[in-house]
Amino acid sequence: MKRRVGRALGNVLYPVAALGVVLAVWAVVSAAKDNPILIPQIDEISRALGDVLGRGETWRAIGLTAGRVTGSFLLSFAFAAALAAAGAFLPAMHRVLSPIVTVLQAAPTMAVILLAVAWLDNSEVPLLIGFLICFPLLYNSMHSAIANVDPELLEMAQVYKIRLRDRLTGIYIPSVLPAVADGCRSAASLCVKVVIAAEVLAQTIGSIGVEMQRASVIFEIAQLMAWTVVAIVMSFLFEGVVALLKKLWEGRRRWTRVK
């Protein structure tokens, strides 16, 4: 019990301490530069954040950006899961997919966004970019997890002629899920970043990215920082959802074992 309480306190105190360090460094730099237009004080950023969150169009932009992030992430997850499973059981398919995945990973994100802007409607660009950036990460984590399932368990399942459904629920999913969940957390936060970057370059109407661009054009640094805080919080929320789903699954699995 004490260990759990200590762990819970650590999960709260360490992030708070890190945030305090960041705010302290920002306050020192802002005071040293003494240029509130370029490096605004923390209280100015707080007021700008309050103004931003008090506008109705802000929540519309947040909702639309969150929808694009969710759509591109789920699309990349579905394709990665299907192709990784197929590649794990069909080595020839993995050999075909591996160079494609490598090219997608190596391609400069900015170049991909600019090409997408030239080819697609500005509302479609963030979805495509989120998919293209997250798919390789998810595919590699899923394929590695499936390929590293304990061969002795699979051999035992084959000897005892265990049904495919029971192999999936009893061997593959429990073995694969922890690694896949970790990959999904990284992919979720990355997806937020690249979708917003694509919104900036594509000038996607009704988005966090275009609001950041407007603040930058009129040199409202405090407002730009406020939108940055919104984006960071969104990234944490997406990561938190993935972590929560993982914990719920682990809790359900332990409950099933007890029963």
Q: What is the pLDDT of residue 78?
A: 96
Q: Is there a single domain that holds both residue 171 and residue 53?
A: yes
Q: Are 83 and 97 in contact (CB under 8 A)?
A: yes
CA-to-CA separations, 91 to 147, 167, 171, in angstroms, rounded? 10, 20, 20
- Which of 153-157, 210-214, 237-241, 251-255 has the least mean pLDDT? 251-255
Together in a domain, 230 and 173 = yes
Task: Please determine, for residue 125, whether its predicted confidence score (pLDDT) is greater than 90.
Answer: yes
Q: Is the pLDDT of residue 8 over 80?
A: no
Quick one: how many helices (H) and strands (E) in the chain? 11, 0
52 shares its domain with 155: yes
Q: Which string of b and e fits 181-197 if b means at least 16 CB within 10 Å?
A: bebbbebbbbbbbbbbb
Q: Identify the CATH number of the domain in which residue 59 sits.
A: 1.10.3720.10
Question: Alpha-carbon distance 177 to 167, whole Å?
Answer: 14
User: Which residue is listed with tokens 């730099």?
Assistant: 29
Reply yes or no on whether the pLDDT at 123 is more than 70.
yes
Nearest by Cα to 32 from 44, 21, 41: 41
Check whether residue 65 and residue 181 sit in a common domain.
Answer: yes
Same domain, yes or no: 7 and 44: no
Judgement on whether residues 15 and 131 belong to the same structural domain of the protein? no
Greatest Cα pair distance, the chain, in angstroms, is 74
pLDDT in tens, 165-207: 888 888 888 888 888 999 999 999 999 999 999 999 999 998 9
Q: Is the dihedral of CA 176, 177, 182, 185 positive or negative?
A: positive
What is the C-alpha separation between 243 and 245, in angstroms, rounded? 5
pLDDT at position 93: 93
Is 113 in the same domain as 192? yes
Cβ contacts of 236 within 8 Å, gap of 6 or more: 189
Cα distance between residue 65 and residue 200, in whole Å: 11
Work out the pLDDT band at 259, boundaries 50, 70, 90.
low
Indicate the pTM of the whole model.
0.89
Predicted confidence (pLDDT) per residue in 82-117, tens digit: 999 999 889 899 999 999 999 999 999 899 999 999
Is the pLDDT at 158 greater than 70? The verdict is: yes
Looking at the fold, whether 21 and 147 belong to one and the same domain comes out as no
Enclosing domain of residue 20:
1-33
Position 175 scores a pLDDT of 85
Domain identity same for 61 and 134: yes
Structural domain tally of the chain? 2
**Percent of the chain scored above 90 by pLDDT?**
59
Shared-domain flag, residues 130 and 190: yes
Q: How many angstroms separate the first and last alpha carbons of the chain?
A: 22
One domain for residues 16 and 110: no
How far is 139 from 145, CA to CA, in rounded Å? 10
Cβ 208 vs Cβ 227: under 8 Å = yes
Give the integer Cα–Cα distance in Å for 253 and 245: 12
**In the prediction, which pLDDT does 37 show?**
77
Give the contacts of 56 (CB within 8 A, at least 6 positions apart).
none
The answer to whether residues 18 and 100 belong to one domain is: no
Q: Give the pLDDT score at 18.
A: 82
- Which DSSP string do the residues of 143-201 spell out, in sequence order? HHHHHTS-HHHHHHHHHTT--HHHHIIIIIHHHHHHHHHHHHHHHHHHHHHHHHHHHHH
Look at residues 185, 196, 71 and name the one whose alpha carbon lies nearest to residue 138: 185
